[in-house]
Amino acid sequence: MDQEILNSYSRINHLNVSRETFLDFENYISMINEKNKEINLISQKTSSKKSIIERHIIDSAQIIDFVDFNCNTTTDLGSGAGMPGIVVAIILKNMKNSMNVHLYEKSYHKSRFLKEVSEKLNLNTKIFQKNIFEIKNLETGTIMSRAFKPMPVVLDLVYENFSKYKNLIFFMGKSGKKIFEKSRNDWDLEYIEKKSLTNEDSFLLNIKKITKKNKKRYKKN
């Protein structure tokens, strides 16, 4: 592994990442690139090894500070290529934490990929090839939402479909402030904000409680 790649990983050194975990990340990256030749897992613009580490692995890994470790499960909404769900599962394995990571992905091919990664890396995950909008009375600890659906849609999903959860984490991009402020017109939110490690214009939101101000429903598409 070259020095530039090591420097990228050093940004998550506070997690005390082991050599074995670095190897898990290396294998995961290789599997992404191989499968990306067949299906569209990630954009070609971010498919170089360096980009995957900085734009996806490190970006996803920083969520670990907000994951509630007192719960049995954490849930990734619309997992896609597995970021952040697979990344969190790799870190939990490194921490010898037995929490199960639930990955919801309705695409058959992407779900198959998530299963292949989980089996190869021996991760404690459960993959659901289902449309999460059609499932009610869900229970979990931390809910993770990264590049899934617009914030109002996700808030409505959690409010309507989850009967029990600890917190909801959003990855917010450059236009995140505007989206967040607009969402607060319809929702009362108890939250903590954290600046992103990967982009000075981005941030994470750790929402502990959501309360709906009106009865409006949001389209999922």
Q: Determine the length of the chain.
A: 221
pTM: 0.89
Rounded to an integer, what distance in angstroms lies between the CA atom of residue 212 and that of residue 84? 27
Adjacent-strand bridge partners of 144: 76, 169
- Residue 57 tokens read as 């692995």
- Residue 78 tokens read as 């619309």
Cβ(94)–Cβ(106) under 8 Å? no
What digits encode the pLDDT tens for the residues 160-214? 999 999 999 999 988 889 999 999 999 999 999 999 888 888 999 999 999 998 7
CATH superfamily for 63-212 is Vaccinia Virus protein VP39 (3.40.50.150)
Report domain extents, the chain.
63-212
Adjacent-strand bridge partners of 103: 76, 127
